[in-house]
Structures are given as C-alpha cells and as structure tokens.
Structure 1
Amino acid sequence: MSQASPTIRQRRLAAELQRLREVAGFAREEVAERLEWHATKVWRLENARSNVTIGDLRHLLDLYEVNGTHREALIALSRQARQKGWWTEYRDVFTGSYNDLEAQSSTLRNYEPLLVPGLLQTEAYARAVIRAAPVMDPKEVKRRIEARMARQRLLVQETTGPQLWVVIDEAAIRRPVGGAKVMREQLQRLIELEDESRITIQIIQNAVGAHPGLTGPFVILDFPNPDFFAPVVFLELAPDGMYLEETEQIMRYTLMFDHLRASALGPAESVKFMKAVQECLGGDD
C-alpha cells in the first residue's frame, strides 16, 4: 500500500524543523549522532517522510534551544498534524493537497469566471457539473457529489470555519447548468448565503469588459498562524492545480482580487442582480 501524502501541517512542521536546525548551526548527521538516531531519520523528518512524534520533537527542540510560545506552538502543530481530515475518506476521488489547505485556512478569496464555486454549489448543480466530464462512471459521479457536499461542511463550522469572499463573473450565473430549475435553485442558494456573516458574494458584470480575472479562476488562502502557514494561491489547472507561494506572486494575485472586487457589484447589489437573473429563468422547466 502506498504511503499517504503528508498533510500541509506535516509539511510546515518539517520545514520549520529544518529551519531551526540550520539556525542552530547543526548538520543533519550531527543531530542524528547527538540524539543517537539512525543517520537518515533527521532527513526523513525534515522532508515529511516520517511523522514527528511528540517525544522526538521535544528532543529536537531541546537541542535547538527552542522555548516559550514558539515551542508550545510547534508541539500543538505536531498534535494537529496527526489528525485525519474529513477528506481522507474521499481519497479515491480527491487528488492533491487543496482540501487540506482549504480546511486549515482562515480566509478564502475566490474568483470564478465560469462556474459557481464548489463550496457554494447545490447538489443538483454539482451533479450537472460532474456529469459533464467525459466518460464518467455513474458510481464515480455519485462518489464525487458526496465528497463535494461533505466539503461544504467547512462553511457551517461556527468557530473554525474560514471567512469566504467570492467574486463570480456574470457568465457563471447566466450559464444554465443542469437546466432552468437547477439554476434557479442554485441562484436561490447564493442569495440566501449572502445573509451568512462569514460569506461575501459579489458579481462582476459583463459590462465591465476586460478585467484582471480573464486569465482564469484562482483562490487565495490565508491561515491563522502566518509564522507556520504562509498564504498560498491556488490556480485551478488540470489535473491537480498549481500552487504559488512566493511573496511576489501572492502580492500580485492579492492586487488582482482587490481590483476584481472593486469592479464588481457590492454584496447587496449582487443579490438584486442574481434575483433579476433568477426571474429571467422563469418558473417553468
């Protein structure tokens, strides 16, 4: 059986252990010798190839002379890294690390030009989107729908769920995915979600013309502890997407999102606009 990919918490902890070792001035071989470990163990811990036990972590932090709140935060991070996320149940349909990142985030800023974001889709809308993929087995369709609905539990976590700010292109809310009935229900869902304090939805109209988002969809993810979790930009590219982590890249996409939300209708105006589109769909299928 292949080993499961390390979570974002495991990778961040591993990177911090490498940084601390380098600051302390130790080579990996020297750390292994001092702690009487196998020669490759430090390398495996620093590359997230092995889980860091609390005991091993304490030994490393003692050697690197890490104390106080930083030490406590690393021990807490180690405990959290061993917890299984909800998405592990759906490893047969999820690939990559995005769901792990999303679950740990404190803020999500999402631009979508073609579709309603997955976190906000109704089951019927999601089914229509997933079925549109070529040669999709009915069992896999069902499994992917279940996974997408499970993913949406993130939005109902009262204390730990992220703030979600979404800018959606007008084309996405006018495209009759699944037919008029499905689209009316989807628009109603978006209208009702605007009342949620943690969710902001804005529509950018076709009349705006050219804008920075024409290059494609993206998500900017921010995390509660920036010392261990730096912001990440996720680009929705096939098959597993692309992650950008350089400071300059984060700044560029942050500026892009700021321009998009400035060009979009405000939240209240966006609700009125979606209601108008909903009325245009009529009441018959």
Structure 2
Amino acid sequence: MADVPGPLSAFIVGEIRRARGSAGMTQESFGRAAGFSASHVSAVEGATRALTIDFIKGADRALSNGGLFERLATKFGTPSWFLPWLDAERGATQLRYFEPNLIPGLLQVEHYARTVLRTVESLTDDEVEQRVEARMSRQAILTGERRPQFVAVLDEAAIRRTGDGLGGIMAQQVAHLVAMAELPHVHVHVIPIGSGLHIGLSGPFALARSSEGVWVGHLENQLGGDVIDKDDEVATLQARWESVRNEALPRRQSIDLLKEVESHHGPQ
C-alpha cells in the first residue's frame, strides 16, 4: 500500500499474520476465505508484494473481525475513499493529473504538503504528519524501477500562490517542479493565467492507464472522492483532459515559466 507509511504497512501485515495464526488458518485456507491464492498471501506476508486495500478487506472478511484492519489503514494512513485510486495509481503505466488550485500530491515537497494538510481543521497534528509521510512515500512510484509516464497540467495560479509564510515554501516547491519536469518520464505543463476561463476550472481530476490498457479516472471534492471506471464517464474525463492539455503551454515553455516563477518567489 504505497499511501501508508512503511512502518504502518508492516504493522498491519504483521497483525494479519498473527490473527491468521491465532485462528489456526494456513496461508492456503486464509487465502481461500480472503479471495487470494496462497502464493499471494505468502508474498504479502513476506513483504515481496504490496499490501492493497483489497487484500486488507479480504483479510477482514476471512477473519470476521468487523473491518478492523481497514479501519486501521484509514485511521493512520489515508482516507478509505482514496485507497482504490492509489491501487490504480501504483500499477499505472501512464498517469495524467490536472490541478487548477494546488500542486499534485505526487509532485509536492514535504513543507508544501504539510501546509496544505494543515488547512483541514479536523486533522490533529499527528494525523497531519502521518499523511505527510504517506504522501512522501507515495511519490516513490516516480523514481522506482517501473516508473509510469507522468503528465501534469497545472494552472499558473497554483504556482503563483502567495501569503504569509508561503514565500520560501513556494520557492522550494517550484524548484522541485522544475527538477521533476526535467526528467524524461515527467511532463509538467502550465496553463497561463491569460488563458481565461476553461473547462478545467470546474475541478481537479486524474486518469490512470493500467498495464492491460484500461483507463480509470479519479475525481475529488470537498467531502471525498470517487474512482471513475464506467466507459462513458472515463471518455468524458479524457475529453476534458484533451481540452485542458490544449490550453497549456508546451513542455519547454512551461519549464521556462516555472523558472521565472521560482525567481519571483525568491530564496527561502
């Protein structure tokens, strides 16, 4: 589970393994009840295969524990509504993100992520730190061996945001965007403020293409988010992607604009 910090993921796997043993279940019998093969169970327990929300839900079913492990993952890792998307994100060969107001989580630096998460008043300080750690861990997909092609379209307003205490954070954040945008598999495109109104201003969205060639989308709102997998709805998101991508500057011009904005924000 890429969204859950390593120690938490290892803790949940360890607790599942102990609960399986206490129930007198072999990996094979546990797998049958959870909906996974014995080899899959062995790989998860041996940390050679990622822990996913589907596996956690299967473990809860097999152990009849009322959803204990899913609650643990949600409480100390990431909201449950986001977990299915993270499974799609982690296995994607192509990722497309559009953000009109913020920097996408996969491109955020730690200080920026912490500042954004602190705007959620219901989160405690510990929960903010847990989610920052989770977000930083999630970014490993962009530097691992199976790196997806990653394309992000941002509105210029997102990179020019200012305010008390934001100057140094935004300078660091935009410098990171420049560094990431120079990588061959990462493309960052900026929609200039002068472009005026466009369809993307209605909200952020993302698209992920699996190794089987299947696209799924993700929509966020103030209360949560949804994975979009119906063909007609995915097609609508793909059409909107083409629209916002066409509003954005080419890759090199976008990097030049990022560098100009970086100098505007000044030193940390």
Question: What is the distance in 2 between the residues matched to 1:232 and 1:125?
Answer: 27
The change in CA–CA distance for 1:268 and 1:51 in structure 2 (over 3 A counts) is: same
Q: Which whole-Å CA distance do the structure 1 matches of 2:150 and 2:209 have between them?
A: 11
Partner of 1:220: helix, strand, or coil? Answer: strand
Amino acid at match of 1:248: D
8 A Cα contact 2:44 2:51, kept in partner = no
Task: Quote the residue 1:139 is aligned against.
Answer: 126
Aligned mates of 2:133, 2:191 — CA distance in 1: 30
The reply to whether residue 84 of structure 1 matches residue 50 of structure 2 is: yes
Q: C-alpha displacement at 1:49, in angstroms?
A: 7.3
Q: TM-score, normalised by structure 1?
A: 0.68
**CA RMSD, aligned part only?**
2.7
Give the equivalent residue in structure 1 for 2:153: 167
Is there any run of 5+ residues in structure 2 with no aligned partner, and where? 1-30, 57-71
Residue of structure 1 equivalent to 2:59: none
Change (3 A) 1:251 1:146: same
| Equivalent residue for 1:280, pick from 255, 259, 264 | 264
C-alpha distance 144-54 of structure 1, shift in aligned 2 (>3 A) = closer
Cα distance 1:49–1:243, how it changes in 2: closer, same or farther (>3 A)? farther
1:233 counterpart = 2:202: no
Distance in 2 (alpha carbons) for counterparts of 1:277 and 1:231: 33
Larger of the two Rg values belongs to structure: 1
Give the Cα–Cα distance (whole angstroms) in 1 for the partners of residues 231 and 141 of structure 2.
Answer: 27
Which residue is equivalent to 2:181? 194
The answer on whether the counterparts of 1:113 and 1:214 sit within 8 Å (CA) in structure 2 is yes
1:41 equivalent in structure 2 = none
Which one of 79, 101, 108 corresponds to residue 121 of structure 1?
108
Question: How many Å separate the matches in 2 of 1:252 and 1:102?
Answer: 19
Q: Does structure 2 retain, via aligned residues, the 8 Å contact 1:85–1:100?
A: no
> Number of matched residues?
213
Q: Cα 1:90–1:272, aligned 2, differ >3 Å: closer, same or farther?
A: farther
Offset at residue 53 of structure 1 (A): 2.7
Distance in 2 of aligned mates of 1:90 and 1:179: 31
Secondary structure, in 3 states, of the residue corresponding to 1:106? strand
Percent identity over the alignment?
29
